[in-house]
Structure 1
Amino acid sequence: MLVRALLACLVAGVAVFAVPASRAIAPIVTLDSATFTGVASGSINSFLGIPFAQPPVGDLRFNLPQPIQPYNGSYSAIAFGNECPQQAITLPLISGLAANATNFIVNSIFRAVTGPISEDCLHLNVWTPVTATPTSKLPVVVWIFGGGFELGGTSIYDGSIIVQRSIDLGQPVIMVSMNYRVSAWGFLASSEVKAAGVGNLGLQDQREALRWVQKYITAFGGDPSKVTIWGESAGAISVAMQMLTNGGNTEGLFRGGFMESGSPIPVGDITHGQGYYDSVVAATGCSGSSDTLQCLREVPQATLQKAVDATPNIFSYQSLNLAYVPRVDGVFLTDTPQNLVLEGSVANIPFITGESVVVYHCDCDDEGTLFSLTTLNITTDSELYTYIEQTYLSKATSSEINQALSIYTADLVSGSPYDTGISNALTPQYKRISAIQGDLVFQAPRRFFLQHRSGSQNTWSFLSKRLKTLPALGSAHATDILDVYGGQELTTYLVQFANDLNPNGDANLLSWPQYTTSSPQLLTLLDGLIPLTITQDTYRAEGFTYLTNLSLKYPL
């Protein structure tokens, strides 16, 4: 019942697009010399499936996104566009309540693809109040979906929920969501890709969509100087990457960032993905080509899909050491994300409005549980040592690995899901692995980022401890999406942040203090009668510091 209830919260808004258009006059917006006809439903207009870049097919496969040509003619914008090609996933072999909870998160939040899949997928969607006009100058919230950079699409995320809440608050906003290339199509990594200057194409797609917003959002009633970029998981990491690229110069594309479960992650050079590239090249018959990258552009989609599906995915044994992920390519990312933070290459420049980029950042309490279900065969200390060495720290010394394992002990009470005692111990090492993975990839990078930006820009942070009773997973990765798309408190905080660059303003909600190094306060979301409280971001300090130092020394 819990799984069904959570799923219902996420997808409840999808049915809004089935409302007959006859109930309201179909909205029309003019872009260049074209008219786009959308859907009116209640107080919301939606314009779906608008192409924002040229289709990345043919020679544009594995190439930088190209700007859309000026629009002409008439477009029907009443349905989501194609989703980008997805990497096949393999679910953990578990059963019972834990399997039900995992299936909910994977297939309802991560996979979340309900429409047709095609390489012609660079489309975006716009939701507006019906009262918006080209002179309204409303703030704009741009959503970047998650899915480990391997999965996902826009079609499950109903932007009308956010816009309706903003209307109810008397602080209307416009929402935009975009597709971007994922898996090998968006994050192919190798020396060949680096030499061609075509790394991190998924991030480049996002950047192109943000340029589209600057050019066209006024026609929908939006203010291009008041854009907040917002994402979860890979989407949140994408927000961080957009803040780090270009020497921190945002090009005026956004003024605020809202990150759920994602930070500047500990990844290294793009050549770290060489083995996966070579595997795809061999599987597609391109090994004998003098230009393997061009050969990959020319192979049939089905052939490429089969080759990519054979490479590791986010639920493979290596888990969060992803095959396809943003990496240092010398163009979009000139150094490791964490080094860029240390160098101060972070968006914090004044805009025309005189305001600076501000950060709104969070994690779930049990970020690592979902990604540790593939390691249930690890039951001893020695097996865990081997896994950590081979998966995350292949260049570390034995003493460095042992030190990490001495901090993250096998004590069930101290493992993740946290605050659940000895329960949820699927194996003697499961809660320990969950703690390590969650802190290495999510929690420690979040604190690292916030501690290095506090004082340079306004920052807020929150921690979700909700859904602790979710079997084996607890307050798992991605569960906080429900608190925004479910129309709960975070929806209000988000709307206020988009309007005023400050999440506070609603007298009915707990005042959310800024995060500072001297007072690292977290808005903390709880189950029960007291849903919000303030806690201190000081937990697991020894582990966070040690894992951060290791990740700076040995990026993935």
Structure 2
Amino acid sequence: MGSIFLFLFSFLLLSFVLAGDTLVQLDYASYKGTDRGNGISDWLGMRYAAPPTGKLRFSAPEDPPRSHSVQNADKHGLICLGTGAPPDSKTQSEDCLFIDVYAPTSATPNSKLPVYFFIQGGGFNTNSNPNLNGTGLIHASGGNIIVANFNYRVGPYGFLASKEVEAGGSLNNGLKDQIKALQWVQKYISKFGGDPKHVVIGGDSAGAASVTYLQTAYGGRNDHLFIGSAAESQSFATELTVSASQYMYDNLVIRTSCANASDTLRCLRSVKASDLQAVNFNLPFPGGADPPLYMYQPTIDNDLIRDLPYNAYAQGKFIKIPTIFGDDTNGGATFAPPNTSTLAESNQFMKDQFPALTLADLAKIDQLYPLTNDRFPNSGPYYRQLSNVYGDMRYTCPGLYISKAYTKAGYKSYNYRYNVLDPHDVAVGLGVPHTVEINAIWAQSYDFAGPGAPASYNTTNKGIIPVIQGYWTSFIRTLDPNVHRFPGTPVWEEWTLKDDEWRRLKFQTNETAMEDVAPTQKSHCQWLQSIGPSVNQ
């Protein structure tokens, strides 16, 4: 009977292969993908790690379970539970460690195509860009790349830190999920036609911050998981030590009625996910008055993360690879409270996000960033001033600093400012907001950005799509954005070490060109970069 069963199982697998060549046999499971009939096939919702539930809550990711049946990889897996998500969410789950792969249908295990590994954002508190479709990028590359994206743990599930978690669990599990997914790519991506020796990582916002953490992980140790990076709106937030993060754990223990347990970590692991979600909300940082936008963050654990990002880059403790970094003109506009009416309210918001800011720091910020003349509907007079401060401090200035660090190390780095003006966003005061470029990079065709994009990306601004996709896919393929750039677009110059030449590419519809960083922004960034380590960035 055993031999008959093996024969029938082998015949079934062969039948799937002959039916469409979308069956991929891994050593722990077999996944049946979907040929979309447009030259692209995809495999959705594949497990890259074991469900991080029960005793694996607050633990490092483990290998996925074995399955002897063929799995239909035709639906996205549920995304990871985020801070503030309802306890009865139908779209989020603690069992969420899934990966999607998009590939040219014609690809074979011998194709060895470059791989773009994308890390979604969400402030390390949510999965905010899940399930992005790689079809448009693959088409823009001429069918010469493979795209992978995935979920990783966030909020307390991914970044709870304390002496108890350090002793009985694992720290920075959201980042360890990312590394686990990269290891999965190394082991299996050739089955889909990808080249494990040519993986380029990318991400937006917290995903771009993740790029910086992966580059500086373990003191800059190169485990050869990737050979380049293309980050959108990188972010340096407040980063705490394990001891400074203890208050988060203690409060969660109290809110879950685990305070009297002899083993509080074991008690937390026994709490149902729905009950944990009911008390999963942010608290003020010590020294802040109100909760920050994002409380749970990667933690200095003296292992995976050994120092603050500014220090790691200053000391050259990062993986040496070609890079892209950049930001949007108004990166802080989405986050600054529109009703900010006074300088005191502006200062308080900054103090809530960066509690280590001193009174002298705030006075200097007020001097560098005076009240603007910009006024927008339903907003206070200090809305744009605060937007400018926060956008520079958290997003733009760190990106410029990293480009300089890579150039100093002798590696190519390309920097950009995204300035594609959508009439609606401009009118309401958002300007060119945080990560809006993701709509053009991931557009499904040169004529259609998609229903979630600003309206103008499907009309007056659709011309930016082939421009940015050309640079991005060229970098993924060759580690140089210029080799396969869209015809007629300018050469994207490398960052240089000359202090009088801070030059980046400005993306703007019909006006994409190299530009000098404005002297005012340059001087602001030089000062903000100088205080970065003292405010735990």
Shorter chain as normaliser: what TM range? 0.7 to 0.9
How far is 1:206 from its partner? 0.4
Counting aligned pairs with the same residue, the percent is 29
* CA distance 1:381–1:226, change in 2 (3 Å): same
For the residue of structure 2 that corresponds to 1:72, the secondary structure is coil
How far is 1:273 from its partner? 3.0
The match for 1:46 is: 42
User: Partners in 2 of 1:132 and 1:380 — Cα distance?
Assistant: 58
Whether 1:279 and 2:240 are equivalent positions in the alignment is no
**Aligned-CA RMSD value:** 2.5
Whether 1:76 and 2:72 are equivalent positions in the alignment is yes
User: Partners in 1 of 2:524 and 2:342 — Cα distance?
Assistant: 21
The match for 2:470 is: 492
User: Partners in 2 of 1:211 and 1:150 — Cα distance?
Assistant: 23
* CA distance 1:385–1:155, change in 2 (3 Å): closer
* CA distance 1:450–1:320, change in 2 (3 Å): farther
1:140-168 deviation digits (Å, cap 9, x = unpaired):
0011111111122664411112112222x
Number of residue pairs the alignment of both structures matches = 485
Trace 1:327-338 onto structure 2 (pairs within 5 A). 327-338=299-310
How far is 1:274 from its partner? 2.8
Match among 423, 430, 433 for residue 476 of structure 1: 433
Match among 362, 369, 386 for residue 401 of structure 1: 362
Whether 1:371 and 2:335 are equivalent positions in the alignment is yes
Structure 2 alignment gaps of length 5 or more:
1-15, 446-464
Between 482-491 and 65-74, report the one with greater CA deviation.
65-74
Q: Is the 8 A contact 1:265 1:337 kept in 2?
A: no
User: Partners in 1 of 2:282 and 2:218 — Cα distance?
Assistant: 34
User: Partners in 2 of 1:130 and 1:531 — Cα distance?
Assistant: 36
Letter in 2 for 1:29: V
How far is 1:242 from its partner? 0.5
How far is 1:199 from its partner? 1.6
* CA distance 1:473–1:319, change in 2 (3 Å): farther
* CA distance 1:88–1:233, change in 2 (3 Å): same
The match for 1:165 is: 140
Letter in 2 for 1:290: S
The match for 2:532 is: 551
Match among 406, 427, 433 for residue 380 of structure 2: 427
User: Partners in 2 of 1:333 and 1:551 — Cα distance?
Assistant: 17
How far is 1:411 from its partner? 2.7
Q: Is the 8 A contact 1:125 1:178 kept in 2?
A: yes
How far is 1:255 from its partner? 0.3
Whether 1:463 and 2:417 are equivalent positions in the alignment is yes
Trace 1:139-538 onto structure 2 (pairs within 5 A). 139-152=114-127, 155-167=130-142, 172-196=144-168, 198-309=170-281, 311=283, 322-348=294-320, 357-373=321-337, 376=339, 378-394=340-356, 396=358, 398-412=359-373, 421-423=374-376, 426-456=379-409, 457-467=411-421, 469=423, 470=425, 471-486=428-443, 487=445, 488=465, 489-505=467-483, 506=485, 507-518=487-498, 519-527=501-509, 530-538=510-518
User: Partners in 1 of 2:254 and 2:314 — Cα distance?
Assistant: 39
1:28-69 deviation digits (Å, cap 9, x = unpaired):
111126431111012001011110011101100010001225
User: Partners in 2 of 1:390 and 1:361 — Cα distance?
Assistant: 26
* CA distance 1:551–1:196, change in 2 (3 Å): farther
How far is 1:279 from its partner? 1.9
For the residue of structure 2 that corresponds to 1:460, the secondary structure is strand
For the residue of structure 2 that corresponds to 1:219, the secondary structure is helix
User: Partners in 2 of 1:28 and 1:317 — Cα distance?
Assistant: 54
The match for 1:415 is: none
How far is 1:399 from its partner? 2.6
Trace 1:106-117 onto structure 2 (pairs within 5 A). 116-117=91-92
Q: Is the 8 A contact 2:119 2:150 kept in 1?
A: yes
Q: Is the 8 A contact 1:32 1:72 kept in 2?
A: no
User: Partners in 2 of 1:517 and 1:115 — Cα distance?
Assistant: 50
User: Partners in 1 of 2:99 and 2:441 — Cα distance?
Assistant: 20
User: Partners in 1 of 2:377 and 2:417 — Cα distance?
Assistant: 21
- TM-score normalised by length of structure 1: 0.82
For the residue of structure 2 that corresponds to 1:227, the secondary structure is strand
How far is 1:264 from its partner? 4.8
* CA distance 1:135–1:543, change in 2 (3 Å): same
Letter in 2 for 1:380: T
User: Partners in 2 of 1:395 and 1:292 — Cα distance?
Assistant: 33
Q: Is the 8 A contact 1:321 1:392 kept in 2?
A: no
* CA distance 1:233–1:130, change in 2 (3 Å): same
* CA distance 1:248–1:241, change in 2 (3 Å): same
1:209-267 deviation digits (Å, cap 9, x = unpaired):
00000000111111100000110011111111110102212311000111000145452
Letter in 1 for 2:522: A
How far is 1:386 from its partner? 4.1
* CA distance 1:310–1:362, change in 2 (3 Å): closer
User: Partners in 2 of 1:157 and 1:75 — Cα distance?
Assistant: 21
Q: Is the 8 A contact 1:48 1:126 kept in 2?
A: yes
How far is 1:403 from its partner? 1.4
The match for 1:108 is: none
The match for 1:96 is: none
Q: Is the 8 A contact 2:334 2:434 kept in 1?
A: yes
User: Partners in 1 of 2:262 and 2:290 — Cα distance?
Assistant: 32
- TM-score normalised by length of structure 2: 0.85
Structure 1 alignment gaps of length 5 or more:
1-20, 91-113, 349-356, 413-420
1:504-545 deviation digits (Å, cap 9, x = unpaired):
123332211111122332111124xx2411111344122212
Q: Is the 8 A contact 1:218 1:224 kept in 2?
A: yes
User: Partners in 1 of 2:166 and 2:403 — Cα distance?
Assistant: 30
The match for 1:9 is: none
User: Partners in 2 of 1:163 and 1:115 — Cα distance?
Assistant: 31
* CA distance 1:177–1:312, change in 2 (3 Å): farther
